[in-house]
Every structure is written in C-alpha cells, then in structure tokens.
Structure 1
Amino acid sequence: MAIPKLQAYALPTASDMPDNKVSWTVDPARAALLIHDMQDYFIGFWGENCPMMEQVIANIAALRQYCKQHNIPVYYTAQPKEQSDDDRALLNDMWGPGLTRSPEQQKIVDALTPDESDTVLVKWRYSAFHRSPLEEQLKATGRNQLIITGVYAHIGCMTTATDAFMRDIQPFMVADALADFSREEHLMALNYVAGRSGRVVMTEELLPAPVPKSKDALRALILPLLDESDEPLDDENLIDYGLDSVRMMALAARWRKVHGDIDFVMLAKNPTLDAWWTLLSREVK
C-alpha cells in the first residue's frame, strides 16, 4: 500500500523521446516552472546518494537557475506534514498515511530550497491544480505554459500535465528532470503526455547555449549561484563563496555537451574562474 523502496534506472535520453503530437515551444514571457513534490520524504525512497536522483536534482536546479535569470516564476508543490483523514480521504486507501507519519521529511530537498520569490503550493491530490490557486495565479500573470519537473512522473506529474491541458495551459514535461518508480512507468508517462496532453522535452532544449563565450560571460553565469555577496577573484576557490556540488554537477552536465571530457570531478578539482575558463575556451575538436 505504501510507496515501495525504489531502484535507480537509466534516465531517458534524446533517443528515448516519444513523438510529440504538438510543436509548442517554451516562451519565457508565457512560461512558469513547476517543481513537483521534491520533498525529502519522496526522494528518500531511492536511499541516500542515489546518482540518478542527483542528476535529476541537478537538471531541475539548472532549469530553476535559467528561470530566475529570465523572470520566469517558479512554483513548488509540497504535501503538508499534517493531513487529517478527511484531507487524505482515498489517498489513505491507495498509499496509507504517507508523509503524516514522517513530518520531519516534509521539507523540499536542500539543493532546491525555495526562496522568497518562489511560490509553494500545498499539495492535496495528484494534480497540482487541485485545491490550489495555481491556475488563477498563472492566468493573473499572463502565463499559459507550465514546465513540469519532479516526482513521480506517472502519478502527480502526468496528472498535472493533463489537468493543465484541460485548463488551456500548455504543459511541457522535462524528461530528464523527472523521476519515477521505474523506467517503464517513466517512459509510459512521457508517451502519454506527448500523445494526449502536452509536449515532452529534454533539459538541454530549454537552456541557452551551454558554453559562455568569454570569461566575463562565465562570471555572469556563476555569480548568481554563489551565496556570498562579495565577488570572487578569478583565481579564488568558488566553493569558499558558496558554490555547492549540485550546481557544479548541473554546470558539468551543461558544458559536457560541448567538451565531452568535462565532468564534476574535473570542475571540483580546481573550482576557479581561471581554471574553468581554461577548460571552456579550448578549441572544440
């Protein structure tokens, strides 16, 4: 009845993408990002230090960063830690008491902690629209596209995408920024949405050109990722200024599309603007 212990699997790649029935494209002026149920409770079913989930979180973090830089609003869903039997209702029959037995795991995972400009919606059912102001807030701000990330792909994420479609809001499921009980269920959700209610995309399709064109552009990319208000010198350790491993993983995934040898270890070995610009300014072979 409860969520089972989950096993990692290979995330979808470009070769796994279903045929999309629609050709919608994301417009930053019309879009909003949804980070769906990325709470410690739900992520914990994969255990600690799961590489698959680290990659999903890194992809979501990269999308969130992009949205922040382009004034795209960010929404979260999160189940409350206290839910009465009336509030859970049929969820009790299907999943048991759920998060109400683990209130200490209610928070969003640390790497995706919302800030004061984000909106956190209380989550009551599979769809993020149920008993929430999501539709009204989207329409009040002229947003009619929803970029969907998080867990679980074939339950809340797929249901939210279909609900969005029925409200004339274009949903975009980000295939490699989602996770599920299994690869089969993950791919099923992508196929359903691509053919019935939305468009399926990869993280890289939504992000700008992966490699900055100058050291100044690299600095402009990195500064919003730091916790410190002071700017680092070109040869100073970026970790000392608050750059965390999840953000470095997201950068490595992005830059590896141009320089195939770049990985997290390479960036973490010498985390300075000088060192990273040396890596990025190499001629592409």
Structure 2
Amino acid sequence: MGLPAIESYPMPERSALPASCASWTVDPDRCALLVHDMQNHFVRAFRPGLPPVVDLVRNIAALRELAGTLGMPVVFSAEPAAQEPGRRGLAADVWGPGIGNEPDAAAIVDPLVPRPGEHLLANVRQNAFLRSHLGRLLRLENRDQLIICGVYAHLGVLLTAADAFMNDIQPFVVADAVADFSAEEHAMALRWAARSGVVCTTDTLLRDLLLHRVPKEAKSAGEARGS
C-alpha cells in the first residue's frame, strides 16, 4: 500500500476539538518543537494550494518562528530516502519501499527548510523517538514538553505523542498544524492524542507561549531597574 491521493478538507475548528485529559500549560523554557516528516514525498500527497496543506505549512511556519525567537529547540524528523529492505522492516510490508531516489523527494518542503542551529533527525519508523536520538536531545536540552506538528496525524504524530507520554515528556499536539489522509482520520487522531496529552490550536499555543514569557521579562526588567 502506498500513499493515497488526499482530498481537500478543512482544518478542525477550535470548538470541535476534543477535551484534553491533561491540563498542562506550555512553557517555552521546558518545551521543544518537533516538525514531523514535512518532506516533499509526504506533503505532495495533498492537493496543492488547498486546505489542509496550506494551513498546515502556514501554521507550522508560525510555530517555528516563535520557537526560534523564544530560544526553544526546533527539531525536524525526516524519513531517509532509498532505505534498504532490512532497515525498513515491516513498514515495507504495509507502506512499500518508502521514499525513493527521486530528486528532492526526501527534502523538507521549501517554506520550512531547516536553518542553522535547528536539528534534523533521521527517523526510520513513524515514531520519531524510535531508533533516533530525539529522547537524548530533549534530555540534554532539559526539555520535558514537546510540541508536535506535521504529518500524518494518525500515524507518526500520534505514535510520537504516545511515546513522549510514556517517557514522561508532556506532548502538545497542534490540531491545525497536523494533517492526515482524511478529516475523519484527522479527528480520530486528535481524540486519541487528547487522552494522554494536550490538543490545542496554533493560535492558542502561540498566545500561551508569549503570555508565559511576558511575566518573566517584566520581572527581569523590574529587577534591573531596582539594581
């Protein structure tokens, strides 16, 4: 089974999001941003210029810009091209050979190309933690929260969020910065993610990151005036 051609569908509205079981608050000093598999091979399955892909790329770009401004680690996961059958394992039985040698198929889409200082990890399974050093990177950066965006919601995004939870890393899945094979599978993934993490919108997350930083900046300014 290869990737399907994905029909256009609208991103979920905030009013339609499932209630999250967790009540964690995002903290830019504890958090990293993971951009999952935003490679040409996967993104080209969507109809160009239409939702959800236009919203997907725009919202991820906004999250990435603020993360950089706030000094949060930004991590891109990417499936390697032309994997040997032995390395691809059972994924080959279900999804075929994966990304081939086509020009730029494995590259991150142009608006999101990793910048100096950002991290690019090879992931050989949909779960970005598996057989990668994502967990070690987060520990080295003293991060125990992970914002997850990218594709596909019911596969890599959901599996990565579940593994984060199992490793005591608080996952935040951004409902309108992930996308899937269909609106139904997108909604299903969010329902499952809400059981062991926080499901939120891009606007809400951007606001909360900024609001969390403002009191610290005000306190630092007050201490500087008093010194």
| Aligned-partner Cα distance in 2 for 1:86–1:50 | 37
Q: CA deviation at 1:208?
A: 3.4
| TM-score (ref. length: structure 1) | 0.71
| Aligned-partner Cα distance in 1 for 2:59–2:147 | 13
Which residue is equivalent to 1:123? Answer: 123
* Paired residue total: 208
| Aligned-partner Cα distance in 2 for 1:34–1:14 | 21
| Aligned-partner Cα distance in 2 for 1:70–1:15 | 28
| Aligned-partner Cα distance in 2 for 1:55–1:178 | 9
Other structure's SS at 1:208 match: helix
Which residue is equivalent to 1:191? Answer: 191
- What stretches of structure 2 of length at least 5 have no aligned partner? 209-227
Give the root-mean-square deviation of aligned CA atoms.
1.2
| Aligned-partner Cα distance in 2 for 1:30–1:204 | 19
| TM-score (ref. length: structure 2) | 0.89
Which residue is equivalent to 1:207? Answer: 206
Amino acid at match of 1:149: C
| Aligned-partner Cα distance in 2 for 1:19–1:52 | 22
| Aligned-partner Cα distance in 2 for 1:37–1:43 | 9
| Aligned-partner Cα distance in 2 for 1:44–1:87 | 24
Q: CA deviation at 1:103?
A: 5.1
| Aligned-partner Cα distance in 2 for 1:157–1:52 | 16
Matching of residue 111 in structure 1 with residue 81 in structure 2: no
- What stretches of structure 1 of length at least 5 have no aligned partner? 210-285
| Aligned-partner Cα distance in 2 for 1:102–1:16 | 39
Deviations along 1:137-183, one digit per CA (max 9) or x if unpaired, are 10111100000000000000000000000011000000000000011
| Aligned-partner Cα distance in 1 for 2:94–2:103 | 19
How is 1:6-155 mapped onto 2 (pairs within 5 angstroms)?
A: 6-100=6-100, 102=102, 104-155=104-155
| Aligned-partner Cα distance in 1 for 2:15–2:50 | 23
Other structure's SS at 1:120 match: strand
- Is the 1:154–1:185 contact (alpha carbons within 8 Å) kept by the matching residues of 2? yes
| Aligned-partner Cα distance in 2 for 1:56–1:48 | 11
Which residue is equivalent to 1:157? Answer: 157
| Aligned-partner Cα distance in 2 for 1:179–1:26 | 22
| Aligned-partner Cα distance in 2 for 1:41–1:50 | 17
Identical aligned residues as a percent: 47
Which residue is equivalent to 1:181? Answer: 181
